[in-house]
Amino acid sequence: MKQFKFILLFVFLLPIAKVNAQEGTKIKVACIGNSITFGYGIKDRIKDAYPEQLARMLGEGYEVKNFGISGKTLLSKGNAPYIETQAYKDALAYNPDIVIIKLGTNDSKDFNWVYKDGFKADYLRLLESFQNIASKPTIYPCLAVPVYEKGRKISAEIVTNEVNPKIREIAKEQGLKLIDLYTPMLGKGKLFPDAIHPNGEGAGEIAKIIYENLSGKKAVLVDQRFPGKKTEWKGFTRFDFEFDGKKAFVIEPTKAIPGKPWVWRARFPGWHTEMDSILLSEGFHLAYLNTNNQFGSPKAMKSWDRFYKYLIRSHDFSKKVALEGVSRGGLFVYNWAKMHPELVSCIYTEAPVCDFKSWPGGFGSGIGSEKDWKTLKEEYGFKSDAEAKKHDNNPMDNLEGLAKAKVPVLHMISLTDSVVPPKENTFPLINKYLELGGIATVVTCTEGKQTLHGHHFPIETPRLGADFIKYYSKSEAKPLDPSAYHNLRNGLQNSQIKFEHEKKGRVAFLGGSITYNGGWRDSITNYLKDRFPETRFEFIAAGIPSTGSTPGAFRMERDLFINGPVDLLFEEAAVNDATNGRTDEEQIRAMEGIVRHARYQNPATDIVIMHFVDPGKMKLYRQGETPKVILNHEKVAQHYGIPTINLAKEVTERIDAGEFTWKDDFKNLHPSPFGQGVYARSMIALLENSWLGPAAEDDKIKSHNLPEPLNELNYDNGTLVDITNAKISGDWKLVPNWEPQDGKGTRNNYTNVPMLIGEKANKGKASLAFEGNTVGIAVAAGPDAGFIQYRIDKGEWQKLDLLTNWSRSLHLPWFFTLASGLENKKHTLQIKIAEKEDPKRIGNTCRIRYFYINKKTP
């Protein structure tokens, strides 16, 4: 026992001994683990995952690296063994002084825990692999944190009763200091939003526990606004960190100005920093991502895209950035700006490369660089000089989008520059840009000593560049956060797993004219293709103008499911349900029917319900009232855990906040391109917040819970019935290819199609035998629409006027529900033309495109 205690003492003191013995070197800490170590689900995991928070507490004497990989197991026969990852190999090569192992959570899944007999041997093998590296590290096994929801594939019972006891036993047998992350985290379920992964605060608690075990001191969290190492730079605070496997930094001003404007440097961040210092002193942030040897390639641009999203989402930077490019930095700033002109406030450059054939290619009058040219060709994937010369997207190419967006550019150049000659770079770009209507300025620098063949020259007026950036980076009022108008509820995990794992997906858009017209819909399809580039999508555009939830509920089989169920459904009906005068009960029955029908077809279908804006809803919100149709649709969404987007409220409040106007910008309830963009950005924000990180390799699609219905008479099995199923007599006729003869318009699928038509009162009937609890008719209600009488079985005849408020100018598709709440059995519907009551009416016609029924629930 005494020998055992001696060994433990040696283990505890080893890190401190190394600090003393190797003064000036840092103790390297490797954090081995799964998604909890990685920081899955944490908004700013680069700053707030537990290894990063631990690094800040340990301070300058330590270097902490995160080798966590989501979904990984300790078990070598598990579905995703950690020892097979590149992160494991990198951790060994890192030669750490301390190793923290937090594995075991994913092993608790039933399909992994069948191999539990190998857990101890696999853990010992992992320990041995680190014990055998040159650094001979101190190793700290950790107990898994609690799981806060029973019945999940990650088993709370197995973690508590089997995984953790095994880890405890191994640590004891091996004489290793065990870090208990389980007991201190009990009762802290609020720190685990999805019951498994900690949020930033929860990760901080884990870091504190580990710190206290390493140091023996009381832990105090060290909060900072950005991740990484904090240093002083020219009187300002600089944070250096890794992003996307590349070095990055952010320098913050002493006092940031509203809107958080920022400058993004490309290449040579230490060159000519006078202008940067001026801007920092006046409230700008400065950012940099090291993509140095990528020459503005598509791969570099993907890293830039991710870095940009990180800074605006996690740190609330202005959505418009000022780009600063020096020399080859011109390749980066122009290539990214052309991809995103709407995100760029201005472009400032010094001696910029605008055509890589000039430099590093050296195919003009300038001094090329053979080494850099070779690297550039490899980075772009060019197989020959000839292929590279044919490249048609240098900075000076395709400037139309930038010019249209009126992005101002400023070039500082030397006329004696023979490395990047202005005649082959700045001048042709600026000339093209001006011809396209762009805003451009060129300043020639002639004072002071010029070196490197005129490529290096003093900037005589850094104040000029700073004022240029300040002027075009005018702070705008911070837009309202779209996520404030979202309710994620049960989320959209199934569709993400489907798109990522199976590489295919069916996405449907069901609604009225705002869905039919595209715009936002096209933006969502493009977003999904960009987000999941390897996924083969089928997109179903099922918008029909003037239709709401009732038509939607009955046309799903025809318009959505003809080729099978869908994985992700976008549904909107709030505008037409209210405008068309549907009752509260009808709205709930129809929307609930859409949800249930979709999930009968595919229990895993994810659904998003959207509430679009119109003047009536805006008026109600300004009176402090929520539109009844939105309350009805939200009632259904809440019952089924469906995410919703309240665009009606978002647009109203953003207009009231002065961000834009209805008259000049949004224009109409059928939004302008600007309004379509507002819709699309809000929807994309919801999708981004639903899919914060990649799905784990072992994530499985799960059926959504289907509770008892809100309304037993909902339209959960609605279908259209072909008019040829009707029996007709008298004046009724089946017109095989009807089209309007009065010059009035109609909608798609309501012209040059079969119509069942009756025009004369009491001249025959149309009868339909059906089985179900609801029946109705879908008609083309035009200027000559008349009156009908109808009855179910042998009931009383009832009268109905088919003329709508919009019929005088349009043969409008309209769904009339004639009977609901019927006994679910066989019935007969009879229809006849009634006497015309109003002599001013120009006709008395009934044109039936479809019958519709709600069949017996499957």
Give the pLDDT score at 330.
Answer: 96
Per-residue pLDDT band for 695 (boundaries 50, 70, 90) equals confident
Percent of the chain with pLDDT over 90: 81
What pLDDT is attached to residue 747?
81
pLDDT over 60 (residue 13) = no
pLDDT band of residue 745 (cuts 50, 70, 90) is confident
Domains contained in the chain, CATH given: 2-215 (3.40.50.1110), 229-472 (3.40.50.1820), 482-690 (3.40.50.1110), 718-854 (2.60.120.260)
Q: What is the mean pLDDT of residues 374-397?
A: 96
List Cβ neighbours of 187 (8 Å cut-off, separation of 6 or more): none
Sign of CA dihedral 43, 44, 45, 49: negative
* Nearest residue to 570 via CA among 593, 598, 590: 598
Q: Is the pTM of the predicted complex or chain greater than 0.85?
A: no
With a CB cutoff of 8 Å and minimum separation 6, the contacts of 505 are: 495, 498, 499, 528, 532, 535, 536, 537, 538, 567, 568
pLDDT of residue 817: 94
Identify the pLDDT of residue 257: 86
Residue 6 has pLDDT above 60, yes or no: no
Q: Which tokens sit at 104?
A: 């075991």
pLDDT at 5: 33
pLDDT at residue 365 in the model: 93
> Looking at per-residue confidence, does 480 or 326 come out higher?
326
Average pLDDT for 245-267: 93
Q: What per-residue confidence (pLDDT) applies to 805? A: 86
- Between 836 and 833, whose confidence is greater? 833
Instruction: For residue range 178-209, list pLDDT tens digits in order.
Output: 999 999 999 999 899 888 999 999 999 999 99
Segment 389-411 shows an average pLDDT of: 96
Indicate if the pLDDT at residue 24 is higher than 80. Answer: no
Instruction: Give the residue with greater pLDDT, 1 vs 43.
Output: 43
> Would the pLDDT of 9 be above 70?
no
Asked if pLDDT for residue 477 goes beyond 70, the answer is no
Task: Identify the pLDDT of residue 11.
Answer: 34
Report pLDDT for 693: 80
Distance CA 274, CA 857 (A): 73
> Residue 266's CB: how many other CB atoms inside 10 A?
29
CA distance 209 to 218: 9
> DSSP readout, 586-602?
HHHHHHHHHHHHHHHH-
Q: Averaged over 230-242, what is the pLDDT?
A: 94
Confidence of residue 259 (pLDDT cuts 50, 70, 90): confident
Contacts of 405 (CB under 8 A, 6+ apart): 341, 342, 344
| CA 156 – CA 144 distance, rounded (Å) | 10
First to last CA, the chain: 70
Q: What pLDDT is attached to residue 18?
A: 40
pLDDT digits (tens, 9 = 90+) for 272-307: 999 999 999 999 999 999 998 899 999 999 999 999
- List, in order, residues 6 or more apart from 166 with CB less than 8 Å away: 116, 119, 120, 123
CA distance 594 to 597: 5
Confidence of residue 692 (pLDDT cuts 50, 70, 90): confident
- The model's pLDDT over 136-163, given as tens digits with 9 standing for 90+, comes to 999 999 999 999 976 568 999 999 999 9
pLDDT classification of 476: cutoffs 50, 70, 90? low
Collapsed DSSP state (helix, strand, coil) of residue 771? strand
The percent of residues above 70 in pLDDT, for the chain, comes to 96
pLDDT in tens, 600-659: 999 999 999 999 999 999 999 999 999 999 999 999 999 999 999 999 999 999 999 888
Give me Rg for the CA atoms of the chain: 33
**More reliable by pLDDT, 789 or 858:** 789
The whole-number average pLDDT for the span 391-417 is 95
What average pLDDT is seen over the chain?
92
pLDDT tens digits, 419-473: 999 999 999 999 999 999 999 999 999 888 999 999 999 998 899 999 999 999 9
Give the whole-angstrom CA distance, residue 692 versus residue 65.
Answer: 22
CA distance to 149, 175, 750, per residue, from 117 (Å): 25, 22, 67
